[in-house]
A = this chain, B = another copy of it.
């Protein structure tokens, strides 16, 4: 009787606190790695340099991205096939999964962590879901292009004040959606921002939203502190019109790096990284690099820029000193060096090497590889520290 009483108490406590598979641990040093060929995700411990769980069944994960809940427990993975999957990284499980659109291109989490927004190509528009159960909160269709089709939505980011910002490819617009009252989304539309915006970014302080333009030179800038001023064109020499080389891959705008008061960005169609002064957004330098840059990432302290490149140069990573603007190291990690993610304080960077089926970890001071982890065709790497940063 005594034994069964203890047993009962122990099991009750046990099941009340935590299921058998879940971990009791801090989540600040965790992350996920997208294994795009398999539609799976690895949950990793970035300090131990090891995988904790492998979660399957996430659908088409090409160009997948992810955001985190404020508690850093739940990852929301946006798949290319319109899938939106909520993962519990402490338990290694899928808690919710929906296919919310036909062709999706990224998402964002609201400032307060309660809303998840996804931008869709088909049908063109943005849908906003409850972060707790992925139930639909708002459906915001894009501007119609013709009787059958709406504009593709791109460059979706979160902004302070419980807002989301995105652009409309076919109609050349940027929209701000204020979700302060989730039952009454307030939409502000900016038309004629430029031709065919294809991606967007917001600076870490949430002030400047910048849309890349596929159909013309330059970028469209919206000062979120002064939305009443509308957008303006910056860097008019930047982009397609000036290109000397065929563009193998349009650079990701999320690959912009801010270091101090300067932005470093991929030169479209050039083997160059451009250096731009923030504020007046004038170019102040061009750094010759090994190929066409895809991601241009600042080490969190702003002292280095790490760059990867489009095919056929995607076996190489270069490191630039932000003070001398010189390439200080050329690394050859292997074919398919697709994505880089820094530890939040910058001591390490993780790099996905798709064709070697591994993650390589580099010490950012010695610039030497210190660890590697197996992963099936890895692409995006997302650490939980993103939970605390606007626009990531």
Contact = CB atoms under 8 A, between A and B. Distances in A.
Contact of A20 (B17, B27, B260): B17
In the complex, the count of this chain's copies comes to 2
A365 B161 contact: yes
A338 to B, nearest CB: 24
A323 interface: yes
A244 interface: no
Contact of A347 (B4, B162, B344, B389): B162
The residue in A11, A24, A388 that gathers the most chain B C-beta atoms within 10 A of its C-beta is A388
Nearest to A261: B261
Interface in A145-170: 160-162
B10 A345 contact: no
A185 interface: no
Contacts of A160: 301, 303, 345-347
A74 B29 CA distance: 12
Contact of A28 (B7, B22, B384): B384
A47 to B, nearest CB: 6
B14 A344 contact: no
Contacts of A30: 71
Given A4-B3, A160-B301, A388-B344, A26 B111 contact: no
Contacts of A225: 303, 323
